[in-house]
Structure 1
Amino acid sequence: MITFLESVLEDYDGWRKTPEQCIFVLPSKRAGSFLKNLLVQKTEDTSFAPRILSIESFVEEISGLQYASTIRLMFDLYAAYSAEEGFKKDSFYEFSRWGQMLLQDFNEIDRYLVNATEFFDYLGSLQEIRHWTPEGTSTPMIDKQVKFWKSLFPIYTRFRDRLEQEGLGYQGQIYRKATAKVGAYLQKHDSFHYVFAGFNALNKSEEYIIREILNQQKADIFWDADSHYLENPVHDAGYFLRTHFASWDYLKTSAPKGVGSFFNAAKTIQITGLPKNIAQAKYTGALIENLLEKDQDTLDKTALILGDETLLNPILHSLPESLTGVNITMGYPLKDSSLAHLFSVLFQIFGDKGQKGIPTKKILVLFSNPFLQEWFLNLGFVHSAVTGRMVRENKPYLSDKDFEYYGLPMELRRLLSLQPYPDPGTIISRFIALLENLQTLYLSSQDLVSVEFLRHFHLLFNQLSELHQTYPFITDTPSLFMLYEQLLEEDTLDFEGKPLEGLQIMGMLESRCLDFETVILTSVNEGVLPAGKSNNSFIPFEVKREFDLPTYKEKDAVYTYHFYRLLQRAKKIYICYNTEPDVLNGGEPSRFIHQLRNDSVLSESIRNNLAAPESGIAPSASESVQKSPSLLAHLAQKASKGFSPTSLSRYIQDPLEFYRKNVLGIRDTLELEETIAANTFGNVIHETLEILYRPCLGHILKPFHLVQMKKLAIEVLPEAFEKHYLKGSKLRGKNLLALRVMEKYLDLFLELEAERIVSQEVCILGVEKELIRELTDIPGFSGPVNIKGTVDRIETVDGELRIVDYKTGRVDPSNLRIADWGTLSEDPGKSKAFQVLCYAWLLQEHMPIPASEFRAGVFSFKRIGSGFQWFGLKTAHNRQDEMITPEMLNQFQGVLKSLVAELFNPEIPFTPPEKT
């Protein structure tokens, strides 16, 4: 295959005869690297090399100005905006949200040589018309907006003047300046010959410069195009080239160079739909491995083009280990590194003005960052222990005193200190100090990759420090964070390698002028390729049309050309797209895929596939745990201490979960509760009721008791909430609502109690009563087994003994009804009935008063209207017998014995419940 750049060198031999007078101008620097390599291969004798410039460098050279950095442009634009009078100015932070868009519009206006005076006058008049009313009325907001539009021209002029005085400019300004100076430049460089290669869409400035040089017979131009789309008047890939060929005087008399019929050659095109980005990455890795197995040398002529460049990281992790040569042109984005995440968290920590302290959740995220682990180790700081305490004590916000309380090292406390609250300068100095400490540690451990990341961030924060000292606009943390993110967005960590060997991984625009025999394209979806109707501009569509500025239609044509140009010389083409719909990006295959499928020439070469990750039912690994002699011995120790009704109920629901939590003692991972959890909610209610009712033990409830309880509840409930959840923190948000819900629950409960004691005699016999009873004569097990539990409330109502279990969750009457005793140990839905019968059986040996029959039930705070709900046994006549008798307890004791016997049966393993 003869590549486009090779064909340029073959057609133009001036680079051999007078290389020192030859200048190649290409769309990108990347293409220049490949051209330089070709020149080396084709040069037999030692000679001067022709100059190779990208179009941006060439225009910069003509203009005599230098490109200013994006950050510098934003500061100078804000200064020009602030100097304008007549309306209230936004802060620099607010300006930064829209200033980049304004800068982009200035760029477009200048690159397309729009008459700025006419343009801004037209734009201002349009805004006046849009806000005009027959009555002539207006508002301060409308007045401010119209004044802003009217002031754009002075801002634009002042901004350009500030830059030009220092020999700087933004891209559009440099391009406009170059068009004015191209004549003088050509006179000064009269002996040079220019070769323009691989251009397609040109802005007015580029077009003017190239045409001027061509008209003076000082240049050749080579187009990288195919007659397949050039000769089709409606094909977008040839839209710009057809316009050039029809309007340029030079091209009317000279046949276009570089145009061929490459699509007539044999090709294979495989289009594959895959679900989501990770599937595309894995598929691409497998595809490259397959190509590598067939031919080791094929990857030197292969390009992997990322339609969505965020796919780089998963692609890198999916490449086969046997791949030895890879060149990545785009670099690794620093914003995706764990070090970037570290500083993002630190900025968030300082972003809340310190009024409430630092969110504990952010501190826990900070502690887990991998870049800090070496530092913590060096400081002797075991953060896992501190993390456990913070979670257990559940303080949502932390102050400087809390950091001292938890024993954080002084170096870490200095980094996080809020006293006095750090200004941007202090934050930068703290971050630089942290980076220097980390660099020292990672240098000593020879972790050179981490050192390189740290070096980049050190340079970034030094740059931030200079900007902060130079410009007075950075006055708060959000502004500083915005600048940090802008600098970070532009910075990448370059990959090292041989740039012209092995697999080439690049973005679509980097592929300009380059040709490969095998092309792999990812993310060929609408909204990605092409990007779609993105309107990142203040300029309305109709104004762009009026002044001949590009719209999304022209941008779509640009990507259409890049897509087809990439395919025209390739022999094997693999196109991947995401099959899953995306709310933001559409998700359907790109229109480019539909065009290929309907192309009269290419459709015959296409194979369509749908692929998905291999899936299936994995062989079920046995999750059961056999009961070894040592396990049974350990279980016997647990039994002698006592099983609770809750633990036995857990065994009924999930024996394997009982094994993990009650035998091995594995507890759920503690998590910081930003809002109160359900179990903590229940603990607060239980403790409050215990405190309220304990003074009434042994007494018959009277109205004055309830009055006292209501008054006391106002103090007791917040104290219990503080003890179990807040732990010194302020009450706000959802937690405040939770407290109000508890207050309402208690108020309604006490009102029900007040109504009840009017017609019934209620005597409190026990509150949070701890009970224990031995279970004997267990089949197959001779050791002691104790059942223990805490009864929330024991009372008599008109002499009838009752036990009550408080539930803050929902309990339905059906949960407490049984028809068959066997269901208690078989049906997890009867766990509430099982628990209250356990309490009833425990109470049988500890009767506070003689009673042959009594009730046991629950009070559900989520069903307050249902009142007390009692256990009931369905009789033969389908009646509910709510009175618990000794015979019923004997029946339940049999259930308990069978359950515990099963628990100690070595032939029955701990297994998870069957899935239904």
Structure 2
Amino acid sequence: MLSFLEETIQTIQNEHEDISQCILILPSKRAGGFFKELLRKRSKKTIFAPTILSIEEFIEQLSSLKIIRPDDLLIKSYQAYLATEGISNKDKFEEYISWSNALLNDFSEMDRYRVDPKQFFSYLSSLKTLEKWGVADKQTTLITNYLAFWNHLYEFYTQLNDLLLKEQVGYQGMVYRKAADDIEHYITHNGHKEHIFVGFNALNTSEKHIIQELLETGNTRIFWDIDRHFFEDEQHSASYFIRQHLQEWKYYQNNPLPSISSNFSENKQINIVEAPNNSAQVKYLGALLSSYSEEKLRNTAIVLADEALLLPVLYSLPSNVDQANVTMGRALNGFSSTLFFESLLKFHTNPGNSYYYKSVLKLLSHPLSQNLLVAPQSIVSKIASENHTYVTPIRLIEMGGAENEEILKLLFSNWENKAQRVLDVCDRLLQHLLTAPEEDAIEGLVWKKLEEVFHHISVLSQSYPYLREVNSVCQLFTTLLSTISLDFEGDAYSGLQIMGVLETRGIDFENIIMLSVNEGVLPAGKSNASFITYDLKKQFQLPLYTEKDAVYTYHFYRLLHRAKDITLVYNSFSKGLNSGEKSRYLLQLEIERLPNHDLDFKTVSSPVSILKKNPREITKTPAILERLEEIASKYFSPSSLTSYIRNPIDFYYQRILKINEAEDVEETVGYSTLGNIVHDALENLYLPFVGSFLETDKLKSLRSKVDKEVESQFKAHYGRGDYTRGKNLIIFEVAKRY
């Protein structure tokens, strides 16, 4: 069976002797790459390749604008925000970042769908005013400023667009709107060229306008990938968009409808697998792949509905997988190293002369500290043994020794709230990591990506005054972590393919393994990260969550059109946001089962090994008996006798081997510590009277020694813990009164 792209290439080659003059537009760069590779394999002689573009590349050409980077957009939009005169009491940059992404996404969506901005923002402002209607007879300053913000959003929007146009860049929606506005100019100069659109489904208003205008030239074709089974079912959302295009577009009123394939009803083996957790999903995948031949692996795609599973999947690939290509990125916020740098930046947002021990331990206990420091656990132990609630940078450097001095100074010296100091320190830490022997190839790629991110923030901080403080750099870095992804390299067109759902657009595989086919993951469900209300979206014909669900429906079923061996795995574990419910698509496959579809249901579980319990015996050797006699010669405390009766093993570890529980910092003086302090203070005070007759005057003379003795015992038992304030000061005073 030919794939959709092969069918398209065959049709184009049959109709054209020379396709080098054609311009082909596909949904993604990945689909374009596969198209070019298949064209190369099918061409029997050397030919000039046609122009092959992703839709985003084509839109950039039409608009003469480049899509701006996410971090640059945040900076430029803040400039526009500051220049908006109607908005008073403007937020600081770090506050602006917390809400601006949602607003910028709304701007982009509004522009992609060519909504009249003036009318849109007027309507939105009126809605916000209605929300506050009747809140108070007299509006407070807070409400006045709130309404002023919404009343001047159009001014903010125009300021941003003007600023970006001057630099010939734009956010995605702005570039799409500009392309749609300029299509007539493009057709004037390029209308004679043949444009071929391949594999599209849901189109925004800008894309619809562009394609329909090109279709009217008579030199444009569009190849849809839809199956007859879905197209003829008017209730099925997999064909919702394509059916809408074919019914509504003027072009199809005068031209025949495209041919529609019938591949979904062919023979298919569909395995629906229930796994109790993500770990079981990944282990099942590894076991399944290990049974595949080399030939089968070359025609297999692993599709991750939940992209957070990418790293577990990569680490679980069996030895028979020689080649694997990852066509999806992984957001930087999902890596351990980025969490370390994020914690480090947050650590320094509140500078001081000493640091709270838990914040210090969070950094020193992070796995990346093992790459930066020599034996960081020894510093952790010293903090606990010396009972530091707060610890100074100087003391930390002393604890670490000469071999750790350079790194500890970088980590814990005061950064003086200077952004450039932050970025220099992070760069030096990354250089240290990159020059050390590489233990994990993936983490090595993360370090290089982080180096790029910090370098770019450094360039920005030198140009913009609101990026000169630690907190603003920290907020920008944290925001960017979810927008910047790490891309993996591999042979793009051979071997096992690992991809996200959107990366499968236009591409077919004989064998499909999809993980996390859960409701709330596929489809993703409702998202509230928008300032545009449901009513406003409906009024201006912006996409609702039902239409976004239909996009996922199409991608899911399109992937199954030509596949023969399909394995769909879902996570049945229910906790928090994860419902443990199988996706509606699995239920549809089950309920609407076609005659040629062989459905097989499996349940896998994590392997559980049952270990035989043997009673543990410890022989009383001469050394153990000697230790027991040593303890007995002093005393057996009630607690030690209780320990022996309750659990003799604990007694053995604690009293015989002297292995105690891990030390921890005692922020507040505990009962046992207070008891030891009082006990030892009383012992030292009364020791001089042993063997002598107690007299009233001598006992009265002890009062003057109590304060000094209790303080001495606090220093001995409470280490460097602070007992000069708070609850500990009260306990100190109580101890003196015993």
Specify the alignment match of 2:251 in structure 1. Answer: 250
Amino acid paired to 1:428: L
Q: Which has the higher contact order (CA 8 A, sep 6+)?
A: 2
CA distance in 2, matches of 1:493, 1:323: 22
Kindly indicate whether the alpha-carbon contact (under 8 Å) linking 1:26 and 1:199 is maintained by their aligned counterparts in 2: yes
Give the deviation of 1:255 after TM superposition: 3.8
Q: Secondary structure at the residue paired with 1:421?
A: coil
Distance verdict in 2 for CA 1:337–1:446, change over 3 Å = closer
Cα offsets for 1:480-514 (capped at 9, x unmatched): 11222344434444333221112111100001111
Which of 425, 434, 452 is the matching residue for 2:420?
425
Q: Secondary structure at the residue paired with 2:24?
A: strand
Give the deviation of 1:40 after TM superposition: 0.5
Query: Which structure's CA Rg is the greater one?
Result: 1
Kindly indicate whether the alpha-carbon contact (under 8 Å) linking 2:333 and 2:482 is maintained by their aligned counterparts in 1: yes
Q: Secondary structure at the residue paired with 2:718?
A: helix
Amino acid paired to 1:341: L
Question: What TM-score, normalized to structure 2?
Answer: 0.91
CA distance in 2, matches of 1:181, 1:8: 29
Specify the alignment match of 1:864 in structure 2. Answer: none
Distance verdict in 2 for CA 1:665–1:151, change over 3 Å = same
Range with greater deviation from structure 2 (487-496 or 66-75): 487-496
Specify the alignment match of 2:582 in structure 1. Answer: 589
Cα offsets for 1:411-439 (capped at 9, x unmatched): 13431354462411111112222333343
CA distance in 1, matches of 2:312, 2:243: 40
The answer on 1:91 being equivalent to 2:92 is yes
Summarize the alignment of residues 494-893 of structure 1 with structure 2, pairs less than 5 Å apart.
494-601=487-594, 605-620=598-613, 623-627=616-620, 631-633=621-623, 635-636=625-626, 639-640=629-630, 642=632, 644-646=635-637, 647=640, 649-674=642-667, 679-684=672-677, 686-687=679-680, 721=714, 723-725=716-718, 727=720, 729=722, 736-737=726-727, 740=730
Specify the alignment match of 2:347 in structure 1. Answer: 349
Give the deviation of 1:701 after TM superposition: 11
Q: Secondary structure at the residue paired with 1:176?
A: helix
Amino acid paired to 1:403: L
Question: What TM-score, normalized to structure 1?
Answer: 0.74
Give the deviation of 1:95 after TM superposition: 0.5
Cα offsets for 1:820-870 (capped at 9, x unmatched): xxxxxxxxxxxxxxxxxxxxxxxxxxxxxxxxxxxxxxxxxxxxxxxxxxx
Give the deviation of 1:704 after TM superposition: 13
Specify the alignment match of 1:197 in structure 2. Answer: 198
CA distance in 1, matches of 2:713, 2:259: 82
Percent identical:
37
Specify the alignment match of 1:315 in structure 2. Answer: 313
Kindly indicate whether the alpha-carbon contact (under 8 Å) linking 1:307 and 1:528 is maintained by their aligned counterparts in 2: yes
Kindly indicate whether the alpha-carbon contact (under 8 Å) linking 2:386 and 2:721 is maintained by their aligned counterparts in 1: no
CA distance in 2, matches of 1:372, 1:76: 36
Relative to its length, the structure with more strand (as a share) is: 1
The answer on 1:358 being equivalent to 2:359 is no
Specify the alignment match of 1:131 in structure 2. Answer: 132
Kindly indicate whether the alpha-carbon contact (under 8 Å) linking 2:270 and 2:597 is maintained by their aligned counterparts in 1: no
Specify the alignment match of 1:52 in structure 2. Answer: 52
Kindly indicate whether the alpha-carbon contact (under 8 Å) linking 2:446 and 2:486 is maintained by their aligned counterparts in 1: yes
Cα offsets for 1:382-430 (capped at 9, x unmatched): 5444333222002122223313543544413431354462411111112
Distance verdict in 2 for CA 1:183–1:420, change over 3 Å = closer
Amino acid paired to 2:299: K
Specify the alignment match of 1:113 in structure 2. Answer: 114
Cα offsets for 1:95-117 (capped at 9, x unmatched): 10000011000001100000011
Range with greater deviation from structure 2 (680-689 or 31-40): 680-689
CA distance in 2, matches of 1:174, 1:90: 27
Specify the alignment match of 1:72 in structure 2. Answer: 72
Unaligned runs of 5+ in 1: 751-916
Amino acid paired to 1:624: E
Give the deviation of 1:531 after TM superposition: 1.1
Distance verdict in 2 for CA 1:347–1:675, change over 3 Å = farther
Amino acid paired to 1:240: F
Kindly indicate whether the alpha-carbon contact (under 8 Å) linking 2:301 and 2:496 is maintained by their aligned counterparts in 1: yes
CA distance in 1, matches of 2:31, 2:673: 64
Give the deviation of 1:371 after TM superposition: 4.6
CA distance in 2, matches of 1:165, 1:14: 46
Amino acid paired to 2:272: I
CA distance in 2, matches of 1:252, 1:702: 116
Distance verdict in 2 for CA 1:742–1:35, change over 3 Å = same
Q: Secondary structure at the residue paired with 1:222?
A: strand
Distance verdict in 2 for CA 1:728–1:325, change over 3 Å = same
CA distance in 2, matches of 1:597, 1:746: 76
Q: Secondary structure at the residue paired with 2:477?
A: helix
Specify the alignment match of 1:168 in structure 2. Answer: 169
CA distance in 2, matches of 1:93, 1:603: 58
CA distance in 2, matches of 1:40, 1:83: 52
Distance verdict in 2 for CA 1:707–1:595, change over 3 Å = farther
CA distance in 2, matches of 1:75, 1:553: 33
Distance verdict in 2 for CA 1:419–1:485, change over 3 Å = closer
CA distance in 2, matches of 1:28, 1:282: 31
CA distance in 1, matches of 2:59, 2:273: 41
Amino acid paired to 1:196: F
Amino acid paired to 2:629: A
CA distance in 2, matches of 1:675, 1:604: 66
CA distance in 1, matches of 2:240, 2:732: 70
Amino acid paired to 1:366: L
Specify the alignment match of 2:451 in structure 1. Answer: 458
Kindly indicate whether the alpha-carbon contact (under 8 Å) linking 2:8 and 2:223 is maintained by their aligned counterparts in 1: yes
CA distance in 2, matches of 1:33, 1:538: 37
Please tell me the root mean square deviation across aligned C-alpha atoms, in Å: 3.2
Specify the alignment match of 1:753 in structure 2. Answer: none
Amino acid paired to 1:221: I
Specify the alignment match of 2:407 in structure 1. Answer: 412
CA distance in 1, matches of 2:179, 2:389: 59
CA distance in 1, matches of 2:235, 2:705: 83
Distance verdict in 2 for CA 1:596–1:404, change over 3 Å = closer
Distance verdict in 2 for CA 1:434–1:583, change over 3 Å = closer
Amino acid paired to 1:320: P
CA distance in 2, matches of 1:663, 1:439: 46
Distance verdict in 2 for CA 1:652–1:557, change over 3 Å = same
CA distance in 2, matches of 1:699, 1:46: 115
Distance verdict in 2 for CA 1:543–1:332, change over 3 Å = closer
Specify the alignment match of 2:232 in structure 1. Answer: 231
Kindly indicate whether the alpha-carbon contact (under 8 Å) linking 2:681 and 2:713 is maintained by their aligned counterparts in 1: yes
Range with greater deviation from structure 2 (415-424 or 695-704): 695-704
Amino acid paired to 1:38: L
Kindly indicate whether the alpha-carbon contact (under 8 Å) linking 2:195 and 2:220 is maintained by their aligned counterparts in 1: yes
Cα offsets for 1:754-803 (capped at 9, x unmatched): xxxxxxxxxxxxxxxxxxxxxxxxxxxxxxxxxxxxxxxxxxxxxxxxxx
CA distance in 2, matches of 1:299, 1:486: 38
Specify the alignment match of 1:394 in structure 2. Answer: 387
CA distance in 2, matches of 1:83, 1:552: 34
The answer on 1:436 being equivalent to 2:431 is yes
Unaligned runs of 5+ in 2: none
Specify the alignment match of 2:212 in structure 1. Answer: 211
Range with greater deviation from structure 2 (559-568 or 592-601): 592-601
Cα offsets for 1:198-232 (capped at 9, x unmatched): 11111000111011111111211111111222222
CA distance in 1, matches of 2:695, 2:326: 81
Q: Secondary structure at the residue paired with 1:473?
A: helix
Q: Secondary structure at the residue paired with 1:20?
A: coil
Amino acid paired to 1:69: R
